[in-house]
């Protein structure tokens, strides 16, 4: 028996941080309202645990699960490291539930592909009487993990030193770190327990943890209104929406590099690796271009290759048919058709053929102080 579950989360209010989760299976829906304070990531885990419990009670043995939470998917699939204590406790419970299934897969999908679950999530913010009859409604009074989770210090992030300094003038014991903190603290403002960063071009930016920042990036880049924009555009939208964390740029770059749709639909860069420069010739037979052509249908003497030399100044052409193409044929052609007739050229330009980059060819040109330059492969 294979059961496919989809879930999505919807926050009613940022002030109360009360969240809802929706689980839909076949033609039945289930809505749960949280009566406890929960962050977005904790609500994602609550929804996952709810889905696992329902599927296990239904007798499922093989479970394919889809989520638009990149953080939860990364934690469960061991792609992301779990640092927050509450996330570790949630993850431990999820892994214990996974052991009850013979087969379990958790796949990340964009929010745009989770439209059905999104429409159900909107019902969570409505009154109980307005919910459709085929949706089971219940209230979850306490979190699934141990109640001691509320006592965990949730500010064990990069913001904690700034908050301690702005509140109580507490500095790190290391003198170097203390000086850096004092210097940087002028860019931050603490208001009603929330840390904000000052900016030249934006209002006060609310400081968030990297985990919350990754969720914000995901919503902006590939959420309901996301159009998979570039790094600078995504960063600009984050700042205009009033959020900040130190690793914003690197996190945005990493997210876009991992996005398969961006790789598939991105433009192919055709800009040359180096600046193009014009080839200037000031004297006849001062600068020559040499190349090999063939093979052609064999002529007299089994000659089926052609070596061509063109003067960049006069556009004069010297051609010779060859039966084989070796480094000896190259510098013999230069001696017979160029040096003995027109003098020693200053520069010879050619491609990266093995006849031209051979050690013997380079040594031969060095004997006459001829500069040999290589063009890009076309």
Lowest mean pLDDT among 61-70, 141-150, 302-311, 340-349: 141-150
- The CATH architecture of the domain made up of 160-265 is Orthogonal Bundle (1.10)
Q: What is the CATH number of domain 287-374?
A: 3.30.420.10
Angle of helix 160-168 relative to helix 175-184, nearest 10 degrees? 80
Do the domains spanning 2-151 and 287-374 agree at the CATH topology level? yes
Residue 352 scores a pLDDT above 60: yes
pLDDT score, position 46: 84
User: Which of residues 150 and 126 earns the better pLDDT score?
Assistant: 126
Q: What does the pLDDT look like over 278-311, one tens digit per residue? A: 778 888 999 999 999 989 999 988 899 999 999 9
CA distances from 110 to 24, 115, 208, 227, 228 (A): 17, 10, 23, 11, 11
Distances 276 to 63, 279, 376 between C-alpha atoms, Å: 57, 10, 11
Fold of 2-151: Nucleotidyltransferase; domain 5 (3.30.420)
Residue-by-residue DSSP string for 184-220: HGGGEEEETTEEEE--SSSSPEEE--HHHHHHHHHHH
pLDDT of residue 147: 43
Q: What are phi and psi of 109, to 5 degrees?
A: -130, 150
Distance CA 209, CA 246 (A): 9
Q: Spell out the residues 6+ positions from residue 269 whose beta carbon is closer than 8 angstroms to its own.
A: none
| pLDDT higher than 50, residue 115 | yes
Which of 151-160, 237-246, 317-326 is the least confident region?
Answer: 151-160
Q: What is the pLDDT of residue 203?
A: 84
Coil, helix or strand for 51?
helix
pLDDT at 72: 85
pLDDT at 61: 84
Domain edges within the chain: 2-151, 160-265, 287-374
Cis peptide before 295 (omega within 30 of 0): yes
249 three-class SS: helix
Q: Can you give the pLDDT at residue 310?
A: 94
Q: What is the pLDDT of residue 120?
A: 59
Alpha helices (H) along the chain: 40-57, 70-76, 85-98, 115-121, 160-168, 175-184, 210-222, 231-240, 248-258, 260-265, 327-334, 340-342, 359-367
Is the confidence at residue 212, as pLDDT, over 70?
A: yes
What integer pLDDT is reported at residue 22 of this predicted model? Answer: 43
**CA atoms in the 13 A half-sphere facing the CB of 329:** 18
Q: Is residue 275 left, alpha or beta, with left meaning phi > 0 and alpha meaning psi from -120 to 50?
A: beta
pLDDT digits (tens, 9 = 90+) for 217-257: 988 888 777 788 888 999 999 999 899 999 999 999 999 88
Cα–Cα distance between 137 and 220 in angstroms, integer?
31
Q: Is 4 helix (H, G, I), strand (E, B) or coil?
A: strand
Pairing of strands 243-244, 135-140: unpaired
Among the listed residues 58, 93, 50, the one whose alpha carbon sits nearest the alpha carbon of residue 75: 93
The predicted structure's pLDDT at residue 307? 93
pLDDT of 271 strictly over 50: yes
- The larger pLDDT score, comparing residue 154 to residue 340, is at 340
Q: Is 20 helix (H, G, I), strand (E, B) or coil?
A: strand
- Indicate the average pLDDT of the chain: 79
- pLDDT at residue 90, as a whole number: 86
Q: What is the pTM of this model?
A: 0.39
Q: What percent of the chain is predicted at pLDDT more than 70?
A: 79
Give the residue, 192 or 277, on which the prediction is more confident: 192
pLDDT band at 87 (very low <50, low <70, confident <90, very high): confident
Residue 311, pLDDT score: 93
Whole-number Å distance between alpha carbons of 329 and 311: 19
């Amino acid at each position: 028996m294979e059961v496919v579950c989809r879930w999505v989360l919807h926050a009613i209010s940022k002030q109360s941080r009360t969240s809802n989760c929706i689980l839909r299976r076949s033609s039945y829906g289930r809505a749960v309202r949280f009566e406890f304070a929960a962050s977005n990531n904790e609500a994602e885990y609550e929804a996952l645990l709810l889905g696992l419990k329902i599927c296990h009670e239904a007798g499922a043995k093989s479970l394919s699960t889809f989520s638009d939470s990149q953080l939860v998917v990364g934690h469960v699939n061991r792609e992301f490291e779990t640092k927050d204590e509450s996330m570790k406790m949630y993850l431990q419970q999820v892994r214990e539930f996974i052991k009850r299934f013979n087969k379990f897969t958790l796949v990340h999908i964009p929010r745009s592909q989770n439209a059905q679950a999104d429409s159900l999530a909107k019902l969570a913010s409505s009154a109980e009487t307005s919910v459709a009859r085929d949706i089971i409604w219940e209230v979850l009074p306490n979190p699934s993990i141990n109640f001691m989770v509320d006592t965990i210090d949730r500010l064990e992030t990069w913001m904690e030193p700034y908050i301690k300094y702005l509140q109580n003038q507490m500095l790190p014991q290391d003198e170097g770190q203390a000086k850096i903190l004092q210097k940087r603290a002028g860019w931050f403002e603490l208001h009603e327990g929330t840390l904000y960063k000052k900016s030249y071009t934006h209002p006060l930016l609310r400081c968030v943890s990297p985990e919350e920042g990754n969720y914000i990036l995901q919503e902006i880049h590939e959420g309901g209104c996301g159009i998979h924009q570039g790094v600078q555009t995504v960063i600009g939208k984050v700042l205009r929406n009033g959020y900040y964390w130190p690793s914003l740029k690197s996190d945005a770059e990493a997210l876009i590099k991992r996005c398969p749709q961006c790789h598939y639909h991105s433009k192919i860069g055709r800009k040359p690796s180096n600046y193009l420069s014009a080839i200037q010739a000031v004297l006849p037979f001062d600068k020559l271009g040499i190349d090999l052509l063939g093979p052609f249908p064999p002529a007299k003497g089994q000659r089926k290759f052609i070596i061509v030399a063109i003067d960049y100044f006069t556009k004069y052409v010297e051609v010779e048919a060859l039966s084989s193409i070796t480094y000896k044929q190259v510098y013999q052609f230069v001696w017979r058709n160029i040096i003995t007739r027109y003098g020693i050229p200053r520069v010879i330009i050619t491609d990266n053929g093995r006849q031209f980059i051979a050690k013997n060819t380079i040594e031969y040109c060095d004997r006459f102080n001829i500069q040999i330059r290589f063009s890009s492969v076309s």
